[in-house]
Structure 1
Amino acid sequence: MTKSYEFNWQKHLPEFMQEGASFDRFDEDPYLFEPNSQMKVDEYGFFITWKSEGKEGQVLECSLINSIRVGAVPKDPKILSSFEAVGKTEADLEGCIICICSGTDLVNLSFMFMVAESPDTARVNAVLIFIEACLTDGLLAL
């Protein structure tokens, strides 16, 4: 006789990740700056979505995330001038940038940078998004 097994694939996702938060977002290549992007994770934790005012929404599948780091202040003058235009100085950016590295393999990578309001918010979101990506990819089991 076989033993009954209950497979529970749904895991608890913190409410604030589902509700979303506002981040400034930029890409280095090609240069792109989007202030006040609303970023959130879907209810099952499979996708990160973001939408900027006046732009179409975008999606990143969590299983494609390779690493997430709290990044350094960008050195590109175009990016710094974009932040200065919205009232943030280079000192305000210190410790607030999250770098999401993603791709289908380890050669073709893309980097997305999100800027949180504070270093604490950046660290908490970086850790939670990384854990979510690992759970989705099957690298961690909780």
Structure 2
Amino acid sequence: MAGAQPGVHALQLKPVCVSESLKRGSRFMKWDEDSSTVTPVTLRVDPQGYFLYWTDQNKETDLLDITYIKDARTGKCTKTPKEAKLRELLDVGNLVGRIENRMLTVVTGPDMVNIQYLNFMAFQEDVAKEWADELFSLASNLLAQNMVPDAHIYLIFRMFSTDRKRVETALESCNLPFSKSIMLKGLRRVGRGKVCN
């Protein structure tokens, strides 16, 4: 066919870009239908786009690896609270508009069979929509899903900086770069606990 281009040109790989509003965070109500609990949280994404995390009023933080997100929904495809008690806790009677337009349901799991739902309610519809769109974009980014090994090692150091010695020992035992200087130079290899050139 004249003028046909290889399929590579059709695929545009875009670098991970986290919007300022996701980095800064937004207020949500996190709810769980099984336990009928509602917790005010601030939802954020780290600047590199690795994690979705939320912090409650007691400064306790939970996080989720964004690569485990299968979908982020708002509108009619979200989960909405069915129990009257839960609806009362969310105080949905005092809000104007449709409840599902304020809901953010994050579908997560290691595969499409073993999934769970994280349920959040925003205070404005546009906030829920922005988070659903941005999270889905981050989760489906091909560059993020196929990170280079050095990025994974950097991520391990960031995650476990409070317990650095244990992480370094674990990395060293797997013959992986076990100190920040070795990891960042990228030219050295680790062998039996000694740095080799």
Assess, with a 3 A threshold, how the Cα gap between structure 1 residues 106 and 30 changes in structure 2: closer, same or farther: farther
Structure 1: which 5+ residue stretches go unaligned?
Answer: 1-8
Identity rate, percent: 25
Instruction: Provide runs of 4+ in structure 1 moved above 4 Å.
Output: none
Q: Does 1:63 align with 2:67?
A: yes
Task: Tell me what 1:3 maps to.
Answer: none
Aligned residues: 127
Q: Of Structure 1 and Structure 2, which has the larger fraction of its residues in helix?
A: 2
Partner AA of 1:21 in structure 2 = S
Q: Kindly indicate whether structure 1 or structure 2 has the higher relative contact order, using CA contacts under 8 Å at least 6 residues apart.
A: 1
Q: RMSD value over aligned CA atoms?
A: 2.2
Structure 2 alignment gaps of length 5 or more = 1-13, 147-197
CA distance in 2, matches of 1:13, 1:89: 33
Structure 2 partner of 1:101: 107
Distance of 1:54 and 1:117 partners within structure 2? 20
Q: Which structure has the highest strand share of the two?
A: 1
TM-score normalised over the length of structure 1? 0.78
Matched, 1:16 2:21: yes
Equivalent residues in 2 for 1:70-85, closer than 5 Å:
70=74, 71=78, 73-84=80-91
- Are the structure 2 counterparts of residues 90 and 112 from structure 1 closer, same or farther at C-alpha, using a change threshold of 3 Å? farther
Equivalent in the alignment of 2:39: 34
2:48 aligned with 1:48? no
CA distance in 1, matches of 2:114, 2:49: 24
- Contact 1:49/1:59 (CA < 8 Å) preserved in 2? yes
- The normalised TM-score by structure 2 is 0.58
